[in-house]
Amino acid sequence: MRATSSPWRTAAVLATALAALTACGSGGGASGAADGTPRTGGTLTFAVGSDAGCVDPQQVGSNDTIYSNNARPPLDDEKVRRAITLAVDRKQIAQTVFPSGTRPATSVLAHTTPGYTDVGASLALDQAQAKALLDAAGWTPGSDGVRQKGGRKLALTVTWFANAATNKPALELLQQQLKAVGVQVALQEKPIAQLTQVQRSGAFDLLWGNVTRADPDILRSSFSTRLANLYKVPATGLDGLLDGQAAASDQAERWELVAKAQRDIVQHAYTVPVVELQTELGVAKKVHGVLFDASSRIQLHDAWIG
């Protein structure tokens, strides 16, 4: 029998679901069709003879990303930003830190987001090119391996927030990858409650995070100089692309503008996409009605046990 709605019901469903989490193991991300498959990209799979399965919703919106302060030296130099982008081994981070099936970023948008365009070729690992760009920008290797210019080390701080278990290990691996091309990276943890304060202050080099939204207009919110411009992007033709896609009434026209915007953002390395975020949740077979909203957030309003 389906239970009546109550806080106790939701708590019971959640407890039962979490108790099944071990069923996901390293096999999370496997695809498969089954009754009750969650909407918005989630898959619900059960091993033969198992009483628990794995729900694996994939995020829409921006990926797990390193957001640059594009007005703060040395990140105001496109060569430096581009070098950082090329020094990141996204596949290694996805396979080492995140659940199996996690995708390396191939754009600033996740592939599940409407209007997504694959620009993965511009995000491919290329340490030789990264070093060449830093050379061209005047940053030369020091005796300790860290590049220097005018007596200053190429040292950056990534600010991150403890709202996901994968954040720290992902950044520690990224730290090693950037060290290989002569970029020294320090990691600074802050409470998630300070996120907005840090963004608005502009007192950061790089910020680690993502934004979940089922519409490519998230690019305008993040990168338009006519809005908050939290990442200090310079005023360029990108603004016209972002405003144009928001105003377009024809979908084909809009997707073309969104594609151009993605290419522009990656070309100028205003941000460094790393991996596509996904979440693994264990679900017992007796749990029904587990759904996800358009932003891939779990919804338990209609969940029940039986």
Contact, 255 vs 54, CB < 8 A?
A: no
Q: What are phi and psi of 71, to 5 degrees?
A: -105, -5
178-207: average pLDDT: 95
Contact, 18 vs 282, CB < 8 A?
A: yes
Query: What architecture is the 64-275 domain classified under in CATH?
Result: Roll (3.10)
Contact, 53 vs 282, CB < 8 A?
A: yes
Q: Indicate whether 221 pLDDT > 70.
A: yes
Q: Give pLDDT, residue 300.
A: 83
Domain map of the chain by residue range? Answer: 7-57+279-305, 64-275
Strands (E) across the chain are located at 44-46, 52-55, 64-68, 140-141, 147-149, 152-153, 155-161, 184-190, 206-209, 271-275, 281-284, 287-288, 291-292, 298-299, 304-305
Q: Using 50, 70 and 90 to split pLDDT, how confident is the model at 4?
A: very low
| Eight-class DSSP state of 27 | G
Tell me the HSE value of 284 on the side-chain side, using a 13 A CA sphere: 15
Q: Indicate whether 2 pLDDT > 50.
A: no
Q: Give pLDDT, residue 214.
A: 85
Q: What is the pLDDT of residues 272-292, one digit of tens each?
A: 999 997 766 777 888 888 777
Q: Give pLDDT, residue 8.
A: 42
Q: What is the pLDDT of residues 228-276, one digit of tens each?
A: 999 999 999 999 999 999 999 999 999 999 999 999 999 999 999 999 9
Q: Indicate whether 28 pLDDT > 70.
A: no
| Eight-class DSSP state of 186 | E
206-225: average pLDDT: 93
Contact, 84 vs 183, CB < 8 A?
A: yes
Tell me the HSE value of 286 on the side-chain side, using a 13 A CA sphere: 14
Q: Indicate whether 41 pLDDT > 70.
A: no
Would you put residue 193 in left (φ > 0), alpha (ψ -120 to 50) or beta? alpha
pTM value is: 0.79
More confident residue, 118 or 35: 118
127-153: average pLDDT: 97
Distances in Å between the alpha carbon of 150 and those of 32, 82, 135, 140, 239? 57, 21, 13, 10, 34
Residue 251: other Cβ atoms inside 10 A: 10
Mean pLDDT check: name the lowest of 19-23, 158-162, 205-209: 19-23
127-134: average pLDDT: 98
Q: Indicate whether 48 pLDDT > 70.
A: no
